[in-house]
Structure 1
Amino acid sequence: MTTFNYYFPDNLDFVDPKFNGITNEKTKHHRKYDDDAYPHEILKELPYNGMLVSLAGVGTMQKKGKYYTQELTEDFYYYGAKKFLRLNQDKYSSVLLMGDCGAFDYVNEPEPPFTIDELIEFYDRGGFDCGISLDHIVFPYAKDDEALKAMDYADIREAERRIKITLDNAVLFLERSKVLNTSKGKSFIPYGVAHGFSKESFISSVKKLEEIGYTHITIGGMIKSKTPDLLDLLETLSSIKKKETQFHLLGICRFENIPAYAKYGVTSADSTSPLMQGIKAGKYFEFNDDAHELIQSLSIRIRQCDHDNVQKLIDKHRHEIRSLVVKMLNNNEMDIDLSNNALSTNECVKRLETDCIKKLKQYDATGEHFDATFKALMAYEKVTTADHLAEITPVKQAILNKDKLRVKKFLLERPWKTCTCGVCESGIMNIIFRSNQTNRRRGIHNLAMVTKHKDKVIDDMKSTMIKANK
Structure 2
Amino acid sequence: MGDCGAYSYIQADSPPVSNTEIIEYYAQGGFTHGVSVDHINTQQNDSWDDSRRCPSEISSRTEFTHKSAIEFIKLCRKNNVSFQPIGVIQSWGPRSAAGYARELVGNGYAYIGLGGLTMHSTSRIYDIVSEVRSKIPDDVCIHLFGFSRLGSLEAFNGLNITSFDSTSPLIQAFKDDVNNYFSEHEHYTAIRIPQVIETSVKKRIQSGILNQEDVQRAENAVLSAVRKYAQREICLSKALENLQTYEDLLFSSRDYSEAYARTLSERPWEKCDCRVCKEVGVEVIIFRGFNRNKRRGFHNLNYSYQQLKKERDTMT
- In the superposition, the TM-score normalised over structure 1's length comes to 0.59
- Confirm whether residue 363 of structure 1 aligns to residue 229 of structure 2: yes
The residue number in structure 2 matching 1:308 is 199
The residue number in structure 2 matching 1:376 is 242
The secondary structure found in structure 1 opposite 2:73 is helix
- Evaluate the alpha carbon distance shift between residue 117 and residue 303 of structure 1 in structure 2; reply closer, same or farther with a 3 A threshold: closer
- Confirm whether residue 137 of structure 1 aligns to residue 28 of structure 2: no
1:121 aligned residue (20, 24, 37): 24
Contact 1:99 1:132 in 2 (8 A): yes
**Mapping for residues 312-461 of structure 1, pairs under 5 Å:** 312-313=203-204, 318=209, 345-366=211-232, 368-388=234-254, 400=255, 403-425=256-278, 426-461=280-315
The secondary structure found in structure 2 opposite 1:363 is helix
- Residue 130 of structure 1 aligns with an amino acid whose one-letter code is H
- Evaluate the alpha carbon distance shift between residue 108 and residue 280 of structure 1 in structure 2; reply closer, same or farther with a 3 A threshold: closer
**Mapping for residues 41-52 of structure 1, pairs under 5 Å:** none
1:284 aligned residue (161, 176, 181): 181
**Mapping for residues 67-106 of structure 1, pairs under 5 Å:** 98-106=1-9
The secondary structure found in structure 1 opposite 2:246 is helix
Deviation readout 1:304-342 (Å, 9 max, x if unpaired): 244331243467794xxxxxxxxxxxxxxxxxxxxxxxx
The residue number in structure 2 matching 1:339 is none
Shift of 1:262: 3.5
Shift of 1:115: 3.6
Higher relative contact order (CA 8 A, sep 6+): 1
Contact 2:191 2:286 in 1 (8 A): yes
Contact 2:27 2:82 in 1 (8 A): no
The CA distance in 1 between the partners of 2:213 and 2:164, in whole Å, is 49
The secondary structure found in structure 1 opposite 2:120 is coil
- Evaluate the alpha carbon distance shift between residue 158 and residue 384 of structure 1 in structure 2; reply closer, same or farther with a 3 A threshold: same
Gaps of 5+ in 1: 1-97, 319-343, 389-399, 463-470
Shift of 1:409: 1.2
Contact 2:94 2:127 in 1 (8 A): no
The secondary structure found in structure 2 opposite 1:373 is helix
- Evaluate the alpha carbon distance shift between residue 262 and residue 178 of structure 1 in structure 2; reply closer, same or farther with a 3 A threshold: farther
- Confirm whether residue 168 of structure 1 aligns to residue 58 of structure 2: no
Contact 1:199 1:233 in 2 (8 A): yes
Shift of 1:417: 1.7
The CA distance in 2 between the partners of 1:376 and 1:314, in whole Å, is 20
Shift of 1:134: 2.8
The residue number in structure 2 matching 1:258 is 153
Gaps of 5+ in 2: none
Contact 2:70 2:107 in 1 (8 A): yes
The secondary structure found in structure 1 opposite 2:2 is strand
- Evaluate the alpha carbon distance shift between residue 376 and residue 244 of structure 1 in structure 2; reply closer, same or farther with a 3 A threshold: same
Contact 2:114 2:143 in 1 (8 A): yes
**RMSD in angstroms over aligned alpha carbons?**
2.9
The CA distance in 1 between the partners of 2:64 and 2:148, in whole Å, is 26
Deviation readout 1:137-161 (Å, 9 max, x if unpaired): 223223x55xx69xx96x7212212
Which has the greater radius of gyration?
Answer: 1
Contact 1:431 1:441 in 2 (8 A): no
The CA distance in 2 between the partners of 1:314 and 1:119, in whole Å, is 44
The CA distance in 2 between the partners of 1:315 and 1:171, in whole Å, is 55
Deviation readout 1:400-454 (Å, 9 max, x if unpaired): 4xx4322211111101123232222322135401122211111121121111111
- Evaluate the alpha carbon distance shift between residue 316 and residue 385 of structure 1 in structure 2; reply closer, same or farther with a 3 A threshold: farther
Shift of 1:364: 0.6
Shift of 1:369: 0.7
The residue number in structure 2 matching 1:158 is 57
The residue number in structure 2 matching 1:299 is 190
Contact 2:112 2:141 in 1 (8 A): yes
The CA distance in 2 between the partners of 1:348 and 1:122, in whole Å, is 49
Contact 1:112 1:135 in 2 (8 A): yes
The residue number in structure 2 matching 1:393 is none
The CA distance in 2 between the partners of 1:427 and 1:123, in whole Å, is 36
The residue number in structure 2 matching 1:397 is none
- Evaluate the alpha carbon distance shift between residue 346 and residue 134 of structure 1 in structure 2; reply closer, same or farther with a 3 A threshold: closer
- Evaluate the alpha carbon distance shift between residue 317 and residue 240 of structure 1 in structure 2; reply closer, same or farther with a 3 A threshold: farther
How many residues are aligned here? 311
Shift of 1:368: 4.4
